[in-house]
Amino acid sequence: MRKLFIGVISAVAVSAGALVVGGERDAQACGGCFHPPPGPTENPSMVTAHRMILSVSSQQTTLYDQIKYTGNPKDFAWVLPINGSAKVGLSADVVFTTLGSMTESSVSPPPMNCPLPPDSCSQNYAEDRGAPTASGAGGSSSGGSGGVALDSGVVVTHQEQVGPYETVQLHASDPSALNTWLGDHGYVIPSDVQPIISAYVGEHYDFLALKLAPNQGVSAMRPVRVTTAGGSPVLPLRMVAAGTGATVGITLWVIAEGRYEPQNFPTFQVKADDLIWDWKTSSSNFTQLRADKTAASNGRGWETENSTDLSQGQISNTILQGSSPGSSSGGVGNVDYVGIDAGADGGPGESPNQVRQDDLDTLFAGMKGGGTVRVTRLRSDLAHAALAADLVLQASSDQSALPLVRQVTKEANEPICPIYQGCDVVGQGPRSQAQAAAASNKGRESFSCATASKSSTGTVVYSALLGLAAIALVRSRRRSNKR
């Protein structure tokens, strides 16, 4: 059985006036992102990172793809290899931000283990003596199908307008004819990508092509999802290579009823036991370990960041609310993406809430209703050479969950702790110095701690002595009187 290709264009709205040539923006486009050469005063557009959401069931597979780029996306076009027909619909950017915030990995430092003040002090002190957890680490269809042959060797199997996009699904038996058709219809195909398209044609795949309709500017761009039948997912990395540089970062969320992993690429994990927390820099070696493991894989390795069960209801409620928490700036290795206005992602004839509900119906299609789903977060910094092969995903032989938080137990250098003289903080220094000061304080009490107790004791003793003296005096007088 041939493997199934799925993909999407997921556009973040950017106003035309906000575009800055050479600055990084979020657009939506991939499979292959194609655009004409830059003008004399423009910098070339370049895809620098992807975020993808892949929903997999035995019934269907859907992929959302959001890109981060440099340059102006107004001339981007998108071509994706598919197996059979695909269903294209508008989507909401909040799906990305919701899953991003719910699955953000973090690194928690070890306890500081600073010494406590003397037990005799009435001052309350934090029991944990540790630093807080820190991160370091549906569209309107205006066309139809019908197998219309517009050019020799190329058959248009379906065409429609989805929101601001013109979409067309193509079947071709002649690679040259397909490249010619794409070029004639506004898809600028780089010479190094043409052999890739020819290879897909030779493997009997069809294609989905998408671009902005006439008179639609960048500000009209909206996220889009593409769904195909069946559950054998393959990411067309050969097409993703179009428009990328020497390295491209990809974050991929796989939503399914179990944990998924790459089949034909090496995988690795950065485990808590491998981490060291440096108190001097207040950070861990997470990023360095990830880079080392990626380098050891020659830029082909995929990290399994985490794999956790999430409630369908929790995901749904957050998406339907129209906004989600932004990812923490301290997340381990995350790329920041700017979401579109939560109220501006509805297409023609649909409100934003309707679009989000369509997303949810698609996201969990074929899965057990109302329960939990397994969300596996994968990440890679792929070298351009690694994009010569498509990524095949499979159910993992290890279905255990992988936590979001890595609790570090090893440390470098020493934390800075308060130094006590009795009950008073007289300074701060490395933990060993604070511990030495605490040891010297042991058994001694400062004036501020002990004055009250010593004064009370003195008062009690003095009162007792006066009492005894008074009793003795009374007895002495009684004896004198008797005499």
Residue 61: predicted pLDDT? 92
Exposed, middle or buried by CB within 10 Å (0-12, 13-18, 19+), for 435?
middle
Two structure tokens written together for 135: 């991160």
User: What pLDDT shows up at residue 17?
Assistant: 25
Average pLDDT over residues 337-357: 59
Burial class of residue 253, CB neighbours in 10 A (0-12, 13-18, 19+): buried
Over residues 395-415, the pLDDT tens digits come to 999 999 999 999 999 999 999
Q: What is the pLDDT of residue 264?
A: 96
* Higher pLDDT among residues 180 and 132, named by residue: 180
- Tokens found for residue 84: 């059979």
Three-state DSSP class for 233?
strand
Phi, psi dihedral angles at 142 (to 5 degrees): -115, 5
Question: Span 262-277, mean pLDDT?
Answer: 96
What does the mean pLDDT of the chain come to? 74
- Amino acid identity, position 299: G
DSSP letter for each residue of 405-468:
EEE--EEES--EEEEEETTEEEEEEEHHHHHHHHHHHTT---HHHHHHHHHHHHHHHHHHHHHH
180 in the Ramachandran plot: left (φ > 0), alpha (ψ -120 to 50) or beta? alpha
Query: Is the predicted pLDDT of residue 241 greater than 50, yes or no?
Result: yes
Q: Which two tokens stand for residue 411?
A: 């440390």
What phi and psi values does residue 12 have, to the nearest 5 degrees?
-90, 135
Cα separation of 435 and 32, whole Å? Answer: 60
The answer to which of 235-239, 242-246, 248-252, 422-426 has the lowest mean pLDDT is 242-246
- Residue 133 phi/psi, 5-degree rounding, is -55, 130
Query: Given this model, what pLDDT does residue 286 score?
Result: 96
Token couple for 250: 């990809």
What would the pLDDT profile of 164-218 be if each residue is shown by its tens digit?
Answer: 888 999 999 899 899 889 888 888 777 878 888 899 999 999 999 888 788 776 6
| CA–CA dist 260, 254 (Å, integer) | 7
**What confidence category does residue 139 fall into, taking pLDDT thresholds of 50, 70 and 90?**
very low
Domain ranges of the chain: 4-411
pLDDT over 90 (residue 55): yes
The CB-based long-range contact list for 470-479 (8 Å cut-off, 24+ gap) reads none
Q: Which of 66-75, 92-101, 286-295, 455-464 has the lowest mean pLDDT?
A: 455-464
State how far the Cα of 174 lies from the Cα of 214, in Å rounded to an integer.
28
d(CA 465, CA 459): 10
What are the CA-CA distances from residue 84 to residues 5, 6, 483 (Å)? Answer: 9, 10, 129
pTM: 0.74
DSSP state of 422: T
- Residue 113, pLDDT > 70, answer yes
**Size (the chain), residues:** 483
Question: pLDDT at residue 219 above 50?
Answer: yes
